[in-house]
Structure 1
Amino acid sequence: MARDARPTGPARHRRTVDALLDRCGRTYAADAGIRLKDTPQPLYQLLVLALLLSARIRASTAVDAARALFDDGLRSARRMADATWQQRVDALGRGHYRRYDERTSTQLGDGARFLLDTCRGDPRRLRERAGQDPRELSRLLQEVPGLGPTGADIFLREVQGVWPEVAPYIDAKATQGAERIGLPGDAEELGRLAGDRAPEVFAAALVRVALDRGLADEVAAAAGGED
């Protein structure tokens, strides 16, 4: 796919980042009602959301499914593991996550039991085992049933606000969004453009424009002007 031909330059980049964050400046965790902090329950909820978002399904549907699971009290690895397969399927169905509901219910149960067996349900233990090395952490995350490379990327994009050694985490999907709105395709340069802005918000905003061409066009138009 050809890249969009957008005007580029330092001033344009600054305007584009401002427009991007003005229109898309929120994380997917926030959409799902997760108050992310460095404690086991919200970190586990983020793992669940990352698994749901990694399927070939609309992001809004994955967010709704996560909310439905959490509304049913399945907010920790223990509660998820103790729920029946049908309870998980029913919650996913209420979130309209029907195409993958049966397989995902199994993955959620297996993943919760895996976390209980390997790190007492506490994702922070994965961080400790990784020695705060993002590459090793990505590898360990992919050991969780249902959480492949895409899911690990999603988790790391969103967690970088509370695990600072991960930041800036700009994966291929975020880079795709950057290029769509005329920003550089280099992760290090994008990290510099973010400046002191929340890295998890910036990365999520880039993903939103990667997934929505109309939104990307809106951001680019709002940036406006020539350098």
Structure 2
Amino acid sequence: MAGKREKDTARRVLDEAGGTMAREAGIGLADRPAPLWQLLVLVNLVSARISADIAVAAARELNEAGGTTAEGMAELTWQQRVDALGRGHYVRYDESTATRLGECAEFARERYGGDLRRLAEEAEGKRTRLTKALQEFKGVGPTGADIFCREAQQVWPWLRPYVDKLARKGADRVGLPTSAEELAELVGGDDLAAFCAGLVRIARERDLAEKVTAQAA
């Protein structure tokens, strides 16, 4: 049973650092083809050696340009994708990423009819099947698959609790338990994705961890 101190710390994590990457990118995540595709694009962008803030900005620009669905992304020209990435300051990998996103869009259309809900259907409740399928998209490796699942548990409850290695590191940094089940007890299911995203930020930003722990003292 979770104690009051752990629950208070979890609430501080949500207040100070919570919020999914999808929300930051302006994606109204839902179990529908368009937002699931937009999450996959965001994951693809953040998987490169580039800051999360830039990846989020680039995702917003791609959506503004019309790449909100696999169909829309495929219909954008390569140059339109490059230009959108440039507006988001995603300039180091803009040309290769523009190519890769076009290939991912075509694969999504051919393999899933542009509807990534079929990923969940074909996984049949097995996380390993889902992460393996996600890695069939160019640019998405094990870390990217973790990010997708961590965020998608907001709308795919069967994934819960999905707490990846980096989120567990953040939990340990602020004195919380590191098992997925114990962390899930600290917040409601609807808040779990945001909570895990906050723990990831804490794992990456020592100042944020210190702020949360200082409030607990």
Please confirm whether the aligned pair reaches a TM-score higher than 0.5, indicating the same fold: yes
Q: TM-score, normalised by structure 2?
A: 0.95
Moved segments of 4+, more than 3 Å: none
CA distance in 2, matches of 1:57, 1:157: 19
Q: Deviations over 1:79-109 (max 9, x none)?
A: 1112111111111111011112122111111
Please, which of 199, 207, 210 is the counterpart of residue 200 of structure 2?
207
CA distance in 2, matches of 1:46, 1:134: 17
CA distance in 2, matches of 1:196, 1:90: 38
CA distance in 1, matches of 2:32, 2:119: 13
Please, which of 171, 180, 184 is the counterpart of residue 178 of structure 1?
171
Between 1:99-108 and 1:58-67, the stretch displaced more is: 99-108
Gapped runs of 5+ residues in structure 1?
1-8
Please, which of 10, 34, 38 is the counterpart of residue 31 of structure 2?
38
Q: Which amino acid counterpart does residue 213 of structure 1 have in structure 2?
A: R
Do the aligned partners of 2:33 and 2:116 also contact (CA within 8 Å) in 1?
A: yes
CA distance in 2, matches of 1:169, 1:194: 13
Q: Deviations over 1:12-65 (max 9, x none)?
A: 322211111111121110110001111100110010011111222111111001
Structure 1 partner of 2:110: 117
Q: Deviations over 1:189-215 (max 9, x none)?
A: 212223455111111111111121111
1:179, distance to aligned residue in structure 2 (A): 1.2
Q: Which amino acid counterpart does residue 88 of structure 2 have in structure 1?
A: G
Count of matched residue positions in the alignment of Structure 1 and Structure 2:
216
Do the aligned partners of 2:154 and 2:190 also contact (CA within 8 Å) in 1?
A: no
Structure with bigger helix share is 2
Gapped runs of 5+ residues in structure 2?
none
Structure 1 partner of 2:74: 81
CA distance in 1, matches of 2:170, 2:79: 37
Between 1:30-39 and 1:176-185, the stretch displaced more is: 176-185
CA distance in 1, matches of 2:175, 2:152: 26
Do the aligned partners of 1:134 and 1:165 also contact (CA within 8 Å) in 2?
A: no
Q: Deviations over 1:143-168 (max 9, x none)?
A: 11111111111111111011000011
1:23 aligns with 2:16: yes
Structure 1 partner of 2:93: 100
Please, which of 42, 45, 69 is the counterpart of residue 52 of structure 1?
45
Q: TM-score, normalised by structure 1?
A: 0.91
CA distance in 1, matches of 2:204, 2:92: 20
